Structure formats: structure tokens, C-alpha cells
Amino acid sequence: MSIIIQKKDLFDLMQKAIPLISNKSSLQILSNFKMTYIDSKLEISATDLDHSMKVFTPVDGEDPFDITVNARKIFDIVRELPDGIVSLDLDETVLIIESEKGFSCKIAGADSQDFPGFPENTTDNKFQLAASSICEMVQKSSFAVAKDESRACLCGVLWEIGKDKTGMVSTDGHRLGSSFYNVNLPVQDTIAGIVSQKSLNGLARIIDGKSQQEMITVMVGDKYVTFETASFIMCSKLIDGPYPDYTKVIPQNNPKEAYIDRTALLNAVKRVSVLSNNKTHLVKFVFKPGTLEIVVLNRDIGGEARDSITINYEGDEHIIGFNGQYLTEILDIIGTNEVKIEMNTQISACLLYPVFEKQEDKKSEDLFLIMPLRIMEEVAA
């Protein structure tokens, strides 16, 4: 018997690595986990060539081993195991799994020599950030990543790193999300890289269950970005840039301002959006002093919905259309009780900010942008 490990610990390792396993890989070896036991540590590796990960945990065992096995098969097996102690052993290239509750099985594996090596990321740009800061930046930016692969640079998140500030930004041309933290970092010059959404969301998922104060070691090179803790290391190939100058789409003149209860706005938009057009998700907003009327008219199904909420707004009547789906997504991400919306014309970008009750509650500079939709005649009526 080589390794003894709790089923929960083994499954936790595999849960972190399984998102990197592709269903349609042309290389059979990429459908496998590489499992290595050495120096009282079990290590599970996975890669799709653009993203690579190693997760590890201390375990009790005897002889070292190294094997690759079909990732989804072993993941499904371990998931169904009863809680308790699990043993892993090798018989040449066959992995033997036994549970203390009586279950046992064998999975044919393969030699690990064909498994891709872990990328080397040699760089002087190395620093540490709190897990909480990384998770917040990812959540507030990655939702706006473009889906159109013809513009590869917009399919990732721009990460800007300076001596006294770092932040993430993404936009698909219809919306934008950004979050910046004031923090001293040991970098020589301001650097930037475009990180894939897959990597960042995977990273956030892994560290979300950990202490949010845990420090993540980050290394940003010319081709790769690496994240490392005592329990995992993830390396992601950076997307070729340059990233468009996102600051040009952020309007500087926004004379119309409204302060709105976030939950009330979110719920009202969700209610009326049930009847919105399935393609445009158009929702009309009518701002009046003290009141916001939210309207959906859908001639395709003969539907109409209206709702109104009390707001803090003192300007002239302002009518504007939004994609209700995009707006609710932003409102879900903003964590404060109140939001501020800045507007200008019916066709200029609108900005949303969280409003903090106490200044000390403000940990980062967050900005969200949404482009308005053209209101068709039947909706504007």
C-alpha cells in the first residue's frame, strides 16, 4: 500500500484540477491527471497547454510513484466513494484504489514521461497579494470579457501592476468592469498582461474557500503569469496584446446623477425583464426627480411591464435604454446598499459606482460602465 489519504482531501485536489481537462483535446495525454507521490506529498497535475496546474497535499505513504490516468474516470470514481480513508497503489501501470468501506477498483494508466512539463516562468516581477484582493478584482472585471474570439485581446482581463496600485479591467465594447487597489508592490516599472478568463475564474474558485487573508505569490513574465501558495501552483499563458485603451470609452462629463437603492433597482429590473425581448433584453428607464420608472414593452409577445421606485435624482426627465441582463449582472456584483449612476445623453456610456456608507469601508476603486441601447419607437411611446 503506497498512499493513505482521506476521500475528502483527495476529492478536493481533483476538484481544483478537473476544470483544466478538456473534453475535445486532440492529444490523449491531456485527458489525464498526472499523479505523483514523493517526499510525503501527493501531487496532481493537469494542463490544456495554455493553462497548467499542480495541487498538492501531505499524505502518509511508502514508495514513490508517478503515473497518468484518465482524469474524468478517476474523478467520477473518487466522487462516489464513501467518506473515510482511501488507499492508492500501483501495479506497474495500473492504479489501484481501495476504500476502507470495502470498495476497490483498478484503472489502467500510462507512463508520465509523455505528460507536458510545467512551464518555466523566470521573471523578476514577483510579489504577493491577499487572496481577498485577487478574488475581488477578478469578480468585478472578468464578467465583461468578450466572447468574440476574433478579438483575442478582449477575451482576457487586463491586469495592470504598478508600484503603488494594481487593478484588473475588461470590456466587450458593451460593458466594462474595473477594480483597483492601492498597494505597494516591489516592481521596477508599471507592467501589464492580458490574463485569460478561464485562469482567473479557476483561481478565484480555488482560493474562495480559503482564508481570504492568505497571501498569493504572483509572478508576471513576458509569456506567463504564475500563482502559487503552499497547496497549489497555477501557470497561465498570457494573451498577446496590446489591449485597447479602455480609458477612452469612459466619459468624463456626466451631468446627470442618480443615487438608487441597489436591491430595489435590481429586483425591479428583474421583474420587468421577464417580458423583455429575448435578443436585446431592452429595458427603458425614465428618470424623473425623485422617481425612476422602469418599462418593458414587447410587441412580439404582446407583453408590457412597468415598475417604479423612489430614487435620489434632481435633474430633468431623462429617458434611456439598457440591456437588462447586463445591468442586473453589474448590480449583482456591486456589494453596497446604494449605487450611483452617472449619465449624459441617450447614447453616451453610463457609469455605475458603489456608494459606501463609511469611507473606511471602501477597499478599492471600482467602476462599471454600460452602453445604452437604442429605444425603438414602440418602446419609447
Q: What is the pLDDT of residues 357-373, one digit of tens each?
A: 888 889 999 999 999 99
What pLDDT is recorded for position 33? 97
How many angstroms separate the Cα of 289 from the Cα of each of 81, 258, 317, 318, 352? 61, 9, 7, 10, 19
What is the spatial distance between Cα 124 and Cα 116, in angstroms, rounded to a whole number?
Answer: 25
pLDDT band at 209 (very low <50, low <70, confident <90, very high): low
Mean pLDDT of 248-259: 94
Mean pLDDT of 296-315: 91
| 126-247 CATH fold | DNA Polymerase III; Chain A, domain 2 (3.10.150)
pTM reported for the whole predicted model: 0.90
What is the spatial distance between Cα 74 and Cα 69, in angstroms, rounded to a whole number?
Answer: 7
What is the spatial distance between Cα 171 and Cα 245, in angstroms, rounded to a whole number?
Answer: 11
Q: Which set of grid coordinates corresponds to residue 294? A: 422602469
Report whether 169 contacts 161 (CB < 8 A).
no
- Does the domain made of 3-114 have the CATH classification 3.10.150.10? yes
How many other CB atoms sit within 10 Å of the CB of residue 301?
A: 10
DSSP 191-246: EEEEEEHHHHHHHHHHHHTS-TT-EEEEEE-SSEEEEE-SSEEEEEEPBP-PPP-G
- Reported as type and span, the H/E element at residue 40 is none
> Residue 44 pLDDT > 90, yes or no?
yes
pLDDT band at 378 (very low <50, low <70, confident <90, very high): very low
Among candidate residues 37, 136, 21, 122, the one with its CA nearest the CA of residue 74: 21
Using the 8-state DSSP alphabet, how is residue 111 labeled?
-
What pLDDT is recorded for position 2? 81
> Residue 298 pLDDT > 90, yes or no?
no
Helix (H, G, I), strand (E, B) or coil at 355: strand
pLDDT in tens, 104-146: 999 999 888 989 999 999 888 999 999 999 999 999 999 999 9
Half-sphere exposure in the Cβ direction for 22 (13 Å, CA): 14
What pLDDT is recorded for position 205? 87
Mean pLDDT of 168-180: 97
Q: Which set of grid coordinates corresponds to residue 368? A: 462599471
DSSP 129-189: EEHHHHHHHHHHHGGG----TTSGGGGEEEEEE-SSEEEEEEE-SSEEEEEEEE-----SS
How many angstroms separate the Cα of 49 from the Cα of each of 20, 117, 151, 210, 234? 9, 9, 21, 27, 12
Report whether 190 contacts 163 (CB < 8 A).
yes
Among candidate residues 309, 279, 278, 307, the one with its CA nearest the CA of residue 295: 307
Return residue ranges of the chain for CATH 3.10.150.10.
Answer: 3-114, 126-247, 250-380
pLDDT in tens, 270-290: 999 999 988 999 999 999 999
Helix (H, G, I), strand (E, B) or coil at 44: strand
pLDDT in tens, 64-113: 889 999 999 999 999 999 999 999 999 889 999 999 988 999 999 988 89
Using the 8-state DSSP alphabet, how is residue 317 labeled?
-
Q: Which set of grid coordinates corresponds to residue 236? A: 497561465
What pLDDT is recorded for position 380? 42
What pLDDT is recorded for position 379? 43
Q: What is the mean pLDDT of the chain?
A: 92
Write the CATH number of the domain with boundaries 250-380.
3.10.150.10
Helix (H, G, I), strand (E, B) or coil at 284: strand
Burial 239-273 (b: 16+ CB within 10 A, else e): beeebeeeeeeeeeebebbbebbbebbbebbbebb
Mean pLDDT of 161-186: 96
What pLDDT is recorded for position 295? 95
DSSP 62-76: SS-EEEEEEHHHHHH
Among candidate residues 137, 349, 342, 148, the one with its CA nearest the CA of residue 248: 349
What pLDDT is recorded for position 333? 97
